[in-house]
Structure 1
């Protein structure tokens, strides 16, 4: 399997993270974000959670602060779209994302996957790829009762200590979710172990993504 450079030490990157709910980004891409920062990449991160009750908004901000410790800069936005009803709010969501595009031009976008079984997740994916047409978009996965896991085509191996840190932070910050039977260390480590097996990760763990479009360049990157 060919490995391509992603986030070099000292490389400055603008990163946009989009999540429908307060724990989505952390579950889907939290290990990758932690690994990029610990590896020395200089990240300017715009972290957007599109819905949250007051309790979950507090969790979301505290979690984002921990996951982004060491980033060059961070902006955390919590929007107030109605949870579970995103498809009926398409016009408002698109206007919000259009306004966001007017303020930032990220090098990398992390967002939900196209075929996610949760309607809010699918809506964010469709609008992300509609609004941000000229960007590298990595679609992350969220394990759930619906059983919608599928093939992925991009993997980022995670050192064992990064995987452990991701799990610790998830369990630390999301008290409102810990009563759910799927929200535990076994789920997070199990999925990462499976993805690590698929890419033969040296540390045995990985996060996996889908990339719909990727342009390769020859020589100097434009």
Structure 2
């Protein structure tokens, strides 16, 4: 399998992370962000959670601070769109993303996958790819009871230390989610192990993404 780097150690990389809810970004791409930091890539990150009211917003901000405290620069933006009703708020969310595009031109965007069974996740994917048409978009996955985990075509290998740090931070910062039967270390490690098998990751673990379009030069 040919390896293509987003950035080399010491290079600058502008990243936009989009998540419908608190904890989505951390679950889907948290290990990749930590791996880039560990590799010495200079990250400029805009971390956006569209539905993050009250306690969930507090969790989102504290978690983002913990994941990003070693990057070159970062900003955290929290929206107040109604959880579970993103399709009916499509116009407002698109306007929010258009305003974001006026301020940012990231090298890479991480967002939900189009195949996600959760209506909020799916809507954010459709709007992201509609608004950011000329950008590299990597779609991440969220394990849950819907059974929507499917084939991916792009992988980021994770070291065991990076995976353990990701899981520890998730369990530390998202107390509101601990009662959910899918939110535990076994689920996060198990998915990473399966994706690691698929890409023959050197340290056995990986995060997986879908890329719809990429230009090779």
> Would you call these one fold, judging by a TM-score over 0.5?
yes
1:189 is aligned to 189
Residue 28 of structure 2 corresponds to residue 28 of structure 1: yes
In 2: Cα distance, 1:168 partner to 1:34 partner: 13
TM-score between the two structures when normalised by the length of structure 2: 0.99
Deviation at 1:69, TM superposition (A): 1.6
Deviation at 1:4, TM superposition (A): 1.2
In 1: Cα distance, 2:176 partner to 2:119 partner: 21
1:8 is aligned to 8
In 1: Cα distance, 2:101 partner to 2:53 partner: 25
1:67 is aligned to 67
1:176 is aligned to 176
2:175 is paired with a residue of what secondary structure?
A: coil
In 2: Cα distance, 1:126 partner to 1:85 partner: 15
1:50 is paired with a residue of what secondary structure?
A: strand
2:88 is aligned to 88
In 2: Cα distance, 1:126 partner to 1:81 partner: 16
Unaligned residue ranges in structure 2 (runs of 5+): none
1:201 is aligned to 201
Deviation by residue 1:125-184 (Cα, 9 ceiling, x = unmatched): 000000000000000000000000000000000011000000000000000000001100
Deviation at 1:38, TM superposition (A): 1.3
**1:117-128 pair list within 5 angstroms:** 117-128=117-128
In 2: Cα distance, 1:6 partner to 1:87 partner: 32
Unaligned residue ranges in structure 1 (runs of 5+): 218-222
Structure 1 ranges of 4+ moved more than 6 A: none
Deviation at 1:6, TM superposition (A): 2.0
Deviation by residue 1:111-137 (Cα, 9 ceiling, x = unmatched): 000010000000000000000000000
2:177 is paired with a residue of what secondary structure?
A: coil
In 2: Cα distance, 1:207 partner to 1:5 partner: 15
1:138 is aligned to 138
**1:89-128 pair list within 5 angstroms:** 89-128=89-128
Aligned residues: 217
Deviation at 1:110, TM superposition (A): 0.2
In 1: Cα distance, 2:148 partner to 2:18 partner: 20
In 2: Cα distance, 1:2 partner to 1:35 partner: 19
In 2: Cα distance, 1:173 partner to 1:71 partner: 19
In 2: Cα distance, 1:5 partner to 1:17 partner: 18
1:220 is aligned to none
